[in-house]
Chain A
Amino acid sequence: MPAIEILGFEKTYMVGFWRKRPKCALSPLHLTVRDGEIFGFLGPNGAGKTTTLKLLMGLVFPTAGSARLLGQEWTDPRVKAQIGFLPEQPYFYDHLTAHELLNYYAQLSGVPGKERSRRVEAMLQRVGLPEVKGVQLRKFSKGMLQRVGIAQAILHDPKLVFFDEPMSGLDPMGRREVRDLMEQLKHEGKTVFFSTHILSDAEALCDRVAIIHKGELRGVGAVEDLTSSVQGKVEVIWQGTQVPTSMKALGAECHVTGDTVRAIISESQQDAAIDALRRERLRLISIVPVRTSLEAYFVEKLQRAETTAGRMA
């Protein structure tokens, strides 16, 4: 059973004050997310990522289409007990302490009274906020609020977790911790659906990704599949500070960084390059095929969309 099935979600807003005109925020979207995977929902700002998440959470209503979460209708309140959601740039009741807030959310999620206190403590430990007892959220930094947001999303042990830009507001250490947490959630058998426009996060974490742009789905697939198109080139790295003439003769694009040199050459010249390095008595560090990065794939999809739109116009 898929964790998420989006069956043609479509959202059009009416904009303008006097003369209302329709503005399409999301074209019919069909998407399936498998159980137990980390799924990245990628797109630039204003692409329709948050609209999709809001539709799935029942915060806005679709113009057309429907969805199924964990096999149930997405509007069914019972399914929400098994879902966790971190909104973009979360903001909480700042008159509460983190303990009180999580306790309140646990109550609303139906966590039994006996378990609540233990669960809240454990969750604050897990997101790296063990020492915040008695401090109201209005005194929290943006990064701390983001951590509280993550804690409230997984507090009730949901099977399916939605994160909207989970890394925003976090420093590099915080981002690493969130990445680790998402991997832990996957190992616990949970499905993680997260939106981001930071492609390195998606590339490092996701089993599969979808790319959305201007409300339209531009591509879906496993990260390996999207990034595996070898361009017929290899990357050779060796120890040294200079590029031998024989390597230059192969037409290699070389970059010297510190005491290593990185060269991109054609795959057919791989053996010749190894021979050249051996002749010069240089230490070879690695030879790896050049893969298309997720970023390159993403940019190509967006450029293609722009070109198509230009032609249509």
Chain B
Amino acid sequence: MNARIGHIASNTFREAVRDRVLYNLIAFAVLLSGAAILVGQISIDIEKLVVINLGLTAVSLFGIVIAIFIGIGLVSKEIEKRTLYTVLSRPVRRWEFIVGKFFGLAGTLVVNTFFMAIGVFAALFYVAHKFVRADALILIALYFIVLEFLIICSLALLFSSFSSPLLSAVFAFSLFVIGSFAEDLRGFAGMAHGLTRWLATGAAYLVPNFSAFNVISSIAHEQPVAAQLIWHNTLYALFYAAMALSGAVLIFEHRNLKLSSAAKLRLLQALALSFAWPPAP
């Protein structure tokens, strides 16, 4: 990896850590330990099923919320705060900045997922008192969740490269919801006719197909995952993220970095205050 991309990525990761993003792990730990204790008392023979379902769903949801809420500000926040000015006035290309930001956020989510995975396995051990071979399947589900994060990160960055944080959040979250029902959308397209069929088919293939990544339920029931699906999902996620990142780079390469009206007003107020000091003789 280009050294500048690495530096930007590590700064993005450090920012997330210092902004206490990883504090979500505490909420996750509380949720999971509470659930483990509760299901241990009220469930009969389905403790593992509940813990795996709940744990992996929480890993996915916590990560997606982080990916969206950090991702949407990665570019727009840097423009609003003008931190980008001192970065892009150095020998840093705009595409390096976008790619660096992507890797920084992806790295944050991988580390977050790693600690959550430890939590899931700990809760599993608490309710089952042992690990069995089929528990290794959880790693595949976690891998798919990380692939999902890569797509969400790239989409959040894409929206952040041209839109405000609020609209970017709406776009990214909507795509996540629609993408989770992509299979249903494809089913609907198959049944529709005429223009509706064309539109539904187009939308079904354009939105990310997150339903293909959701193997939580089958893994909770100890059903194996086909190697073909692992390859397919890996290639699909990498391709989709690469396309979304390319879009972000393409937009950002041509974007004038000007402040929004609100930011300009704030800057003018700050300037007025700074010159209130009597000038030097």
Contact = CB atoms under 8 A, between A and B. Distances in A.
Interface string A51-71: 000100111110000000000
B280 A175 contact: yes
B91 A78 contact: yes
Interface string A73-86: 00001101101010
A108 B91 contact: yes
A228 B81 CA distance: 43
B246 to A, nearest CB: 20
Given A90-B82, A104-B7, A60 B257 contact: yes
Interface string B30-48: 0000000000000000000
B274 A168 contact: yes
B231 interface: no
B85 A168 contact: no
Interface residues of A, number: 46
B63 to A, nearest CB: 21
B3 interface: yes
Interface residues of B, number: 37
Given A81-B90, A107-B7, A142 B274 contact: yes
Interface string A166-190: 0011111001100000000000000
A97 to B, nearest CB: 10
Contacts of A152: 86
Interface in A80-110: 80-81, 83, 85, 87-93, 95-96, 100, 104-105, 107-110
A82 to B, nearest CB: 9
Given A89-B270, A90-B82, 7 more contacts: A57-B89, A61-B256, A80-B89, A80-B92, A87-B86, A172-B277, A175-B279
Interface of B: 3-4, 7-8, 11, 14-15, 18-19, 81-93, 254, 256-258, 267-268, 270-271, 274-275, 277-281
Interface of A: 13, 45, 54, 57-61, 77-78, 80-81, 83, 85, 87-93, 95-96, 100, 104-105, 107-110, 136, 142, 149, 152, 156, 162, 165, 168-172, 175-176, 198, 200
